Every structure is written in C-alpha cells, then in structure tokens.
Amino acid sequence: MKNRLKVRGLRQRWMISSVAPVILLLVLIAAAVCAGIVSSYYSSAQSTLETKAKTGADYFNTYVMSNYSEYYRSAMLYTANFDAVDHIELQFLNSSGRIETASSGLTAGASPDTPEIQRALNSGELTAYSGRDPSTNESILAVSAPLKFNNSIVGVMRYVASTRNLDRQALVTVLIIAAITLLIIALLIISNLIFINNVVAPVAEVTEAAKRISGGSYGIQIPNKYSDEMGELVDNINDMSLKISQSEKMQTEFISSVSHELRTPLTAINGWGETLLGDDSGDIRQLRRGLRIILKESRRLANMVEELLEFSKMQDGRFTLQVEEMDLQAELEDAIYTYRELFKQDGITLEYEEAGELYTDPISGDPERLKQVLCNVLDNAAKHGGSGKRIITSLKQEEDDYVIRIRDFGPGIPEAELPYVKQKFYKGSSKARGSGIGLAVCDEIINLHGGQFDIGNAEDGGAIVTIRLPMEHRTEE
C-alpha cells in the first residue's frame, strides 16, 4: 500500500511539475493565436470598409459636390449601383446625421445614432465604430467619411457591415484551434502517463527489491527487462546484491574460521597448561615439550590477533606507513633466514637466488610493514604449497622496479579462485589454517608503497607471488 502511494505521488509530482507548465503554455499560446486571428479578421474587415469609404468620399468631394441637386442625384445613383449590397450597406447622411438615401432602402430621415457619425461631422476625418447597432441591437462594423462642399461638411458617406458572418467565422476558427490544442494536450498527457508509468513500474520493482536486500535477502536478482539507464541500474543493483551476498557469506565463513583458529591454539595452551600443572613426575623433557607447544601456539595466536588488528586499521583508515630509508635486500634476507630453519623442520627447502651488490642502494619504505608482507607470503607458500617441499625466492631489478618473486611447487591455485585470492575473508577451497585476510593486508601495504602485489600460477606448477616496488618510492595518501 505504501509503495502504491509513493508511485501515485511520483506520478502526481511529474504531472504537476513537468506536464502542467507545458499545458498552461499551450493554452496561453492558443489563446494568443485566437485573439490574433479574431483581431486580424476584424481589422481586415474594418480596413476594407475604410478603403471603400475613403475612395467614395474622395470621388464625391472631388467631382460631385458642385451643388446639392447634383450631390443628391449622384448619391441616389451611387447607392442604386452599389454592388456589395448583400453584405455591406451604403448610407448617405446629412449634416444632422439623418439618412438621406441608403442601399438597403432604409427610411429617409432615420438616424443611426452611432458615435462615429458625430465624430466624423465634428472632426472632418474618417472614423470607425465596432459595436451594437442602437436600433437593431445587431453587432456591426461602421465607417463614416465626411463629405465637404466649399470646405464645409455637408454630409457623411457611411458604410455598415454586420459582423454575424465574421463572428461565425471567428468562432469556427477558435473552435478549431481549441480542438487542436485539446488534442495536443490529450496526446501530451497520454504520452507522459505512458512514459511515467514505464519509469514508475520499474522504479517500484527496484524499490521493492532494494527493501528486500536491506531486510537481509542478500543475493536476490531482479529480472532485467530494460535496455536503457533503468537496465543499467538493475544490473548495478543485482551486482550489489550478489557482492553483498558474497561478502556476507565470506564474513560468516571468516567468523567461523577465526573462531576455529582461535579455539585450536587456546585448546592446546589450556590442555598443556593443565597437563604440566598436574604433572608431579618432574620430567624435564615433558616440561620442555609442553612449554614449546604453548609458546608456539601463543605466537600463532598473537599473529592472528595482529592480523585482525591490521584488518581493523584498514577498515577505518588508520592503516599508515612509517617511511624511512631501508635496505630491501637485507629485509628479504632476514625473512629468509628466519623461515629457513622453520621450514627445514617440515622438510621444506627454502632457496634464495643471490642478488649480489646490485641492490645495495636503500629505498624509501616502511621496513616493518614490508617484512610483514615477506613473512606472510613465505608462510603462505609453506602452508599452501608445502607439499612441493621447495620454495624459491629471488630479488631482481626490472627497469625502474625492484621485483621480489616467491614461488612454491605445490598444487597451485584453481583458476576460478585467482581473481578473489586477494579479497578479504576469501579462503577458497583451501583447508589450511588462516583468517583469510593476510593477503588483503599484504596487497594494501604494497599499494601504499606505490607498488603491485600479484598472485598467479607458475607455468610448470605451483603458485608464484610477484611484488614490485618502485626504486623512487611514492606513498599513496
């Protein structure tokens, strides 16, 4: 119900904010066009009457006004031969405004009493009138032109036309324009309703899916039936839903894995602690063995806690470097020396291809962080590729980079898992111990040093880690 109300509200806002102004503009334009056309009709009719009145008055004033008899005879003849009698009436009025002769046969002596007659008599200029005829109450157009004799106004030539046909023509024109405007408005409303419905329906569907995702239904997919921006939005939401689902799954697996990983050393520590506490035999070898196991498990526990702390710093932006001049070759050799004996106990040979004096120049970096990366990668090589019983490390200079490669001869990484091995919490199909965030921390450290951290499979078996560090270090803010 709430979604339906939101959809209705979106449709109403669209119609009010987008369609209503266009409709108002169309109505104003139609009204202006109607007013212009009607005004043009009346102006054209008035102009025609004024032209006839001026032409007739000029003729009488120039050729006829020699005496009253001649004027009256010419007026009678002029009205009798007037050829537009069907739609225009011609009248001759005396100086008192009374009709002397008319083409319609009006009674002589009648007075039309329209204001333009008196204005023409007073001003001596051609005047026009549009309005009601006082005697018939009919809508008319009238034009009066003064007739002069010896510079004195002796009468008026008056043309009168009914505006009934003009009004009917103007009304038909207005109705046609109104019908066209209404048709355009109807098409506009229908097209906008279709458009907004095509937008609102998928928006409502996407909104419902987003609510389900926010409610915990991670991984749901919206059927994508669209090929425009809405289709792109649906793809992005589907991708977001899938990634949230994957992230949720990885976090769940991470919590389960970390819980197991923490429980294992704690169980060993507690078990050997209770064993040693309850052992009254005084066996030194038993004591040493138990203390060695407790120490080993405590270190493993400390390393796991340290990884979790590093991950926490990565999440909230507190993961920083303490940059100084350092010897990369020395740090690598220290890490190899540290792990060589440990690996030997497990039957793993750690080989190092000597770099000579090529890398004696120090670089700018954080020695503790870089050593953390090297130790983590070496530990992973033994943990995941130890079955190959051999690990090779090397340090070379390639163009402007120092390149460290650490390769094992184990089963390698499944191709389907390669794109995800650096993601936090990801452990893939590996059954080895670990939290799944070590490689993510390593990748972050190398990126902060301006380098690259890549993991792949070697051509003839095993996994290989490639660490590239620029000779001139540029840390990322």
| CA nearest to 251, candidates 218, 221, 209, 220 | 218
List the structure tokens of 299: 């270190």
Each residue's pLDDT tens digit, 373-427: 888 888 888 887 767 788 999 998 888 888 999 998 888 888 888 887 877 666 6
The rounded mean pLDDT for the chain is 80
Question: In this structure, what token pair is assigned to residue 79?
Answer: 């009205």
Q: Which residues pair with 363 in a beta bridge?
A: 326
CA-to-CA distance for 183 and 189, rounded, in angstroms?
10
> What is residue 475's predicted lDDT score, i.e. its pLDDT?
46
User: What does the angle CA 78 – CA 79 – CA 83 come to, to the nearest 5 degrees?
Assistant: 95
The set of residues, in sequence order, having a beta carbon less than 8 Å from that of 392 and lying 6+ positions away, is 351, 352, 353, 405, 406, 407
- Residues of the chain with pLDDT below 70 are 1-10, 105-108, 226, 250, 253-258, 260-262, 264, 282, 307, 310-319, 355-361, 386, 424-436, 472-477
Q: In angstroms, how far is CA 62 from the centroid of its own chain? A: 78
Report the C-alpha gap between 231 and 370 in whole angstroms.
44
Residues 6+ apart with CB under 8 A from 310: 319, 437, 441
Residue 97 near residue 121 (C-beta atoms within 8 A): yes
Q: What residue ranges define each of the domains in the chain, with the CATH number in brackets?
A: 2-168 (3.30.450.20), 229-316 (1.10.287.130), 324-470 (3.30.565.10)
Identify the burial level of 259 via C-beta atoms within 10 angstroms of its C-beta, where 0-12 means exposed, 13-18 middle and 19 or more buried: exposed
**Contacts (Cβ under 8 Å, ≥6 apart) of 344:** 350
Token code pair at residue 295: 């120490």
CA distance 231 to 238: 10
d(CA 466, CA 290): 39
**pLDDT for res 260:** 61
Q: Find, among 395, 398, 295, the residue nearest to 335 by Cα.
A: 395
Q: What pLDDT score was predicted for residue 175?
A: 92
Q: 468 phi and psi, to 5 degrees? A: -110, 125
**pLDDT (0 to 100) of residue 428:** 62
Which pLDDT value is given to residue 159? 92
Amino acid at 66: S
72 Ramachandran zone, left/alpha/beta (phi>0; psi -120 to 50): alpha
Distance CA 300, CA 352 (A): 25
Q: List CB contacts of 418: < 8 A, sequence separation 6 or more.
A: 455, 456, 457
413-465: per-residue pLDDT in tens?
A: 888 888 878 776 666 656 555 556 778 888 888 888 889 999 988 888 888 99
